[in-house]
Structure 1
Amino acid sequence: MSESIEPGGATTVLQAARPAVRAEGLRRTYGRGDAVVHALAGVDVEFARGEFTAIMGPSGSGKSTLMHCLAGLDTADAGRVFLGDTELTALRDADLTRLRRERVGFVFQSFNLLPVLDATENVLLPLRLAGRSPDPAWFDDVVRRLGLTGRLHHRPHELSGGQQQRVAVARALLPRPDVVFADEPTGNLDSRSGAEVLSLLRGSVREVGQTVVMVTHDPVAASYADRVVLLADGRIAGGLANPTPDAVLDALRDLGA
C-alpha cells in the first residue's frame, strides 16, 4: 500500500486507504418507454489513489457515462459519487463547478484547447479561472516532463496532435488534481504520439502519485494501466490487474465486444 502526504507533511496509511473516487449504486437512464436505455444499472466501483485505471467494455456498455458521472460532468438518476470524502451527488451546481475546477483534471480526445491562446495560456487557464497562481517550480517540472519547453508560445494550430495532447495533459496536471479523467485520450493520435501520451500519463502515476481514470476501447492503451475495470450492459462485469493487450482482448471477447 502506498502512502499519501498530507498538506501539513504528515503521512498516513488511512488517507492512502481511502479511494480517490468511488460510486455506490449508480444508475443513469436515457429516453423513455420503448426507447429507454439503462446506461448504468447499479454500479458499485472504487478507484485507488495513485493508480492508473482503464475503463473498458463493448460499445454502449456505459463506460463514458460512468466516467462522466464520476467526474461530475453528468448527473446520475440514483446512487452516490464520492471524490475522496466529498459527495459530488450532494453538491449544488456552483459548488460542483468549483470542485471540478479545483480538484479534477480532464484530458479529452479532442484536446479542447482554445485556439486564440498559446500553450502556456491554455495550460494555465483552469488555475486562472479558479483565481489561483501556479507554483513556478511545479509548472517548470510539468512542462519539462511533457517536453513542451520549446513550444510554450505556440498556438494550437502550430502544434502537432501529439503536442496539443501534451498541452492538455499539462493543463490537467498543473492544478495537482485529486483525479485526472481521460476520455479516449489517444483517439485522435497516431500510434507513436498515442504511446507518448500514455507513457506521460503512466509516468504521472509512477513518479508523482497522480490518480488517472481513463476510458478507452484500445487494448494497447489499456495495457499502460495498473488495472482494467470491465463494463457490460451498464454493470461491472469484471476486471484485470496488470493487464496485457492479449489479456484485455480475451476479456473483451468474453463480453462479446
Structure 2
Amino acid sequence: MTSQEQTEENTVTTAVANPETGGSGGHAAVAARTENVTKAYGEGETRVLALDQVSLDIHRGAFTAIMGPSGSGKSTLMHCLAGLDSVTSGRIWIGDTEITGLKDKKLTRLRRDNIGFIFQAFNLLPTLNAIENITLPMDIAGRKPDQEWLDQVVTTVGLADRLKHRPAELSGGQQQRVAVARALASRPEIIFGDEPTGNLDSRAGAEVLRFLRRSVDDLDQTIVMVTHDPVAAAYADRIVFLADGRIVDEMTEPTADRVLDRMRHFDGQGRVS
C-alpha cells in the first residue's frame, strides 16, 4: 500500500446526514458522529423522549450550529455528543473513538484531551490572570502547552495585550475570548459551545463569534454551537435544526434572515429556545 493510500485508509469518513432522515448523501471527514441516538428521561407515563433516533455527522474543520424550538433536544444532543450525558440507546464517536460505553475514567480523559468547552458563564477563576486561566486545564493535567500554538491562539483571539489582566479587569467580551482561548489552547479534536454569547451584548457577542469563525478558518478548528440566535447561527458553515428530538432540516451558507424564516416555519409563534 502506498503512503497516499495509507493516508486515505486512515481518514475517518462517514455519510453526510440527510436533512430529513439522517441518511447518507455523500462523504466527508468527521470529528464526531451519532448513530440512531435516543435519549429518554423518566419511565412509563412520565417518560420524555428528548432525542429520537438521531444520526448526525459533525464535519471536521467546520463550524456547525444546532438550533430548534424550546424543548427540541438541541442542548441534550450537544451534551450527549460531548460525553456530558449518557444515551438511552445508539452510539456516539469522537473522532474514531466510540464514547458510548466508555468507563468514567477513560471518558474523563477523553474529554480532557480531545474536547474543549465554551459556556454562557465564562467560568474564569478571578484570582488568575488571563494567560493562567487559558493554560489552567493543561496545568491541572500536568501538560506543557505548545508555545507556538498558544501564541497563535492568543493572537487569533486578540488577547496579546491582556494576558496579565485578571477577569475583573476585562470586559465581558474579553472574558469570553479568554474562555475561547482556553478551549482552543489544548488543540482539542472538537469544541462545543452552549450559547457562548448568551451573556454578552450584541457588540461583544459579535466579537466572540468572529473569533470562533477565525478559529475555524485560520486554525482549522471544529466547533459545534448550540444557539437560539439567528445572527449567531449565521456565522456557522452549517445549521442543523431539531424539533421534537429529531433532525428535521439543515442549512448551509446561512444568513440571519434565512435562519429566522426557517425557525418561524418550525414554530408558528416565532419562538426559539
Same fold (TM over 0.5): yes
Partner of 2:92: 81
Find out whether 1:184 has 2:195 as its counterpart.
yes
Whether contact under 8 Å (1:114, 1:156) holds in the other structure is yes
The runs of 5 or more residues in structure 1 that have no matched partner are 1-9
Structure 1 residue corresponding to 2:223, chosen from 194, 205, 212: 212
Relative to the length of structure 2, the TM-score reads 0.87
Report the number of matched residues: 248
Whether contact under 8 Å (1:27, 1:78) holds in the other structure is yes
The 3 A distance-change label for structure 1 pair 204 and 12 is: farther
Whether contact under 8 Å (1:107, 1:169) holds in the other structure is yes
Shift, 1:41, TM fit: 1.1
Partner of 1:245: 256
- Cα distance in 1 for residues equivalent to 2:129 and 2:219: 26
- Cα distance in 2 for residues equivalent to 1:76 and 1:116: 37
Shift, 1:11, TM fit: 6.3
- Cα distance in 2 for residues equivalent to 1:18 and 1:157: 41
Q: Deviation digits for residues 181-225 of structure 1, max 9, x if unmatched?
A: 011011000111100100101011111211100000000000000
Structure 2 residue corresponding to 1:67, chosen from 67, 75, 78: 78
Q: How does 1:1-257 map to 2 (within 5 A)?
A: 12=8, 15=11, 17-256=28-267, 257=271
- Cα distance in 2 for residues equivalent to 1:15 and 1:167: 32
- Cα distance in 1 for residues equivalent to 2:45 and 2:132: 47
CA RMSD for the aligned pairs?
Answer: 1.5
Whether contact under 8 Å (2:75, 2:226) holds in the other structure is yes
Relative to the length of structure 1, the TM-score reads 0.92
The 3 A distance-change label for structure 1 pair 249 and 13 is: farther
- Cα distance in 2 for residues equivalent to 1:169 and 1:179: 12
Q: Deviation digits for residues 232-254 of structure 1, max 9, x if unmatched?
A: 00010110011111111111111
Whether contact under 8 Å (2:50, 2:245) holds in the other structure is yes
- Cα distance in 1 for residues equivalent to 2:165 and 2:8: 42
- Cα distance in 2 for residues equivalent to 1:201 and 1:176: 14
Determine helix, strand or coil for the equivalent of 1:204: helix
- Cα distance in 1 for residues equivalent to 2:9 and 2:166: 43
- Cα distance in 1 for residues equivalent to 2:147 and 2:110: 23
Whether contact under 8 Å (2:156, 2:215) holds in the other structure is no
- Cα distance in 1 for residues equivalent to 2:202 and 2:133: 25
Partner of 2:25: none
- Cα distance in 2 for residues equivalent to 1:175 and 1:111: 17
Partner of 2:18: none
Judge which range, 154-163 or 40-49, deviates more: 154-163
Whether contact under 8 Å (2:62, 2:221) holds in the other structure is yes
Shift, 1:142, TM fit: 1.1
Determine helix, strand or coil for the equivalent of 2:11: helix
- Cα distance in 1 for residues equivalent to 2:7 and 2:98: 24
Whether contact under 8 Å (1:18, 1:84) holds in the other structure is no
Amino acid at match of 1:223: A
